[in-house]
Amino acid sequence: MPQSNNNSNNLVVPRANAALEQLKYEVAQELGISIPQDGYQGNMTSYENGSIGGYITKRLVTLAEQQLAGQFSGQ
């Protein structure tokens, strides 16, 4: 699993970190990209990292849209 992370992004819900990490690995696997076991992504290409981040964003937006649609459809 990843060691210390020098990411400057602050999560609104810190408990979501584990779920986002899992999502990162799932998306990478779907795209056929292997993330090193030590978590260091410095040797990966910008294209690979960008693809993973883009698909994560796309999936999170889809989930948010589904939740909002559920809230406004009378549920």
- C-alpha distances in angstroms, 57 versus 7, 37, 52, 61, 70? 16, 23, 9, 6, 20
Numbers of helices and strands, H then E, in the chain: 2, 0
| CA 29 – CA 68 distance, rounded (Å) | 28
- For residue 17, pLDDT over 80 is answered with yes
Does residue 27 surpass a pLDDT of 90?
A: yes
Question: Taking a C-beta distance cutoff of 8 angstroms, is the pair 49, 41 a contact?
Answer: yes
Determine contact, residues 1/26, Cβ cutoff 8 Å: no
pTM here?
Answer: 0.73
> Tokens at residue 29, please?
């696997």
Which is higher by pLDDT, 33 or 37?
Answer: 33
User: Taking residues 39-45, what's their average pLDDT?
Assistant: 89
Mean pLDDT, residues 37-65: 93
